Amino acid sequence: MIIKNNQSPITNDQLLITNRKDETVENLPKNSTILVVDDNPVNLKVLGHTLNAAGYTVQMELNGLNVIQKVYDSSPNLILLDIMLPDISGFEICEQLQADPLTQGIPIIFMTALTDTMDKVKGFSLGAVDYITKPFQKEELLARVRTHLHLQKLITSLELQNQELRQLTQRNEDLENRVAERTAELKEALEKEKELSQLKSRFITMASHEFRTPLAIISSSSGILQKFSDRLSEERKQEHLQTIQSTIKHITQILDDVLMINRAEAEKIELHLEALDIIPFCRHLKEEIETSISEHKINFSLELGEEISNNSLIVQFDQKLLRQILTNILTNAIKYSPDHNVINFSLTQENNQIIFKISDRGLGIPEADQANLFAPFHRASNVGTISGTGLGLAIVKKCLDLHKGEISVDSRVGEGTTFTVRIPFLRR
């Protein structure tokens, strides 16, 4: 703890130090360097010993005015920054680092004995990724450091992939430009690839943000459960656990979508047809989605003709791919209909085709965006702050292509959207 206002420094009882390396060291990013900034030498010594024992390389700084230059010289992977420094505030240091493209990617965790919410809000607005309130325990300190180093490693990996993609695109451009001097078709193909690369770059930037935010939520809820479990009611504990579970589900879905679209583009997805009853399949999917939502209802209807008896229709389809198709469209209808809680979902047959229609009364899709609706990483211009990766409908299109199916959209801004999916009717 900072020695200010008659407060005592961090003691060994408050922050246990061992010479044994943490069991998770081997899973940490290699050669992780942490810069610790605190004007209290005792705090620096205790934090330095603790982080060194956990396998990190630690650099320490007492003087806040030296921090910016030290960051340039050492390029740390993470900064533990005291807010209350005598010569310059931690807020000012954070603001300067975030303003510089060379240092704005370094995660900053504030250390403070202050508990004022406005201070925390100010820190987050300036670009800090987390807070550690003094006095703190070794386990909490290492957990937060470990979380943000892993997140930074992920972001760095995504940025490297983006750089490699740009380099690959540039090589392709150099090669194809030589041919494009005489071939207009290749020039057009090159432009399309450049556009796709730009869209992928936008996605990587967006994904970096979407990973950072949920991981911070997980860290916060787990920290509260760890530190205050004995004081929380069972209801509050369950709320934090539910927050962690739903956030993990969100991250997992992003990763699953990226893997799915990559496999589809690499043509590694195969069609596995099975003879199954399509009616209970649709009903079960409807119920499954409804259990995960609270404010929307899905109305499922059948129009299969008199020849269909006992509500049964056995057809051949790939249930994994069809689940992807219908789930993505249904969840999109729910997501983009915040003010209308009824989604219509129908199953019909016509001209040897199974036809699914999913309608909502939500935001609608601008006409200018409809041409690129099924392109990877594309999102409509009117989605605002509604989160998403722009991969859902691209995955739908890939899965439908394998099924030799078709999809069409009828949408008007402010009125809603209807997706119509047609799959060849393969009856057993």
CA separation for the pair 164, 166 (Å, rounded): 5
CATH of 274-424, one of 2.40.110.10, 3.30.2310.20, 3.90.550.10, 3.30.565.10: 3.30.565.10
How far apart CA 72 and CA 101 sit, in angstroms, is 12
Please, are residues 54 and 22 in contact by the beta-carbon 8 Å criterion?
Answer: yes
167-195 pLDDT per residue, tens:
888 887 777 767 667 677 767 767 767 76
Strand-pair partners of 35: 59, 79
| Burial class for 112, CB neighbours closer than 10 Å (0-12, 13-18, 19+) | buried
266 pLDDT band (50/70/90 cuts)?
Answer: low
Please check the confidence at residue 410 and state whether its pLDDT lies above 90. yes
> Of all helices (H) and strands (E), which one includes residue 154?
helix 138-180
- Please tell me the distance from the alpha carbon of residue 394 to that of residue 73, in angstroms, as a whole number: 44
Check whether 23 has a pLDDT greater than 70: no
What is the maximum alpha-carbon separation in the chain?
Answer: 86
Structure tokens at 267: 């043509």
Query: Comparing 171 with 428, which gets the higher pLDDT?
Result: 171
Least confident segment among 44-58, 66-80, 192-206, 278-292: 192-206
Tokens at 419, concatenated = 């997706």
**CA of 363: how far to CAs of 110, 132, 163, 236, 415, in Å?**
40, 41, 35, 34, 7
Helix (H) or strand (E) holding 346: strand 342-350
Helices (H), 54-116: 67-74, 90-99
Over residues 149-159, the mean pLDDT reads 85
Given a cut of 60, is residue 131 above it in pLDDT?
yes
25 residue type, one letter? V
CATH superfamily of 25-136: Response regulator (3.40.50.2300)
In the predicted structure, residue 162 carries a pLDDT above the cut 90 = no
User: ∠ at Cα 142 (139, 146), nearest 5°?
Assistant: 135
Helical (H) or strand (E) element with 299: strand 297-303
pLDDT tens per residue, range 296-316:
889 999 887 665 656 788 888
Is the pTM here over 0.75, yes or no? no
79, 127 Cβ separation under 8 angstroms: no
pLDDT band for position 208 (cuts 50, 70, 90): low
Alpha-carbon distance 265 to 335, whole Å?
Answer: 26
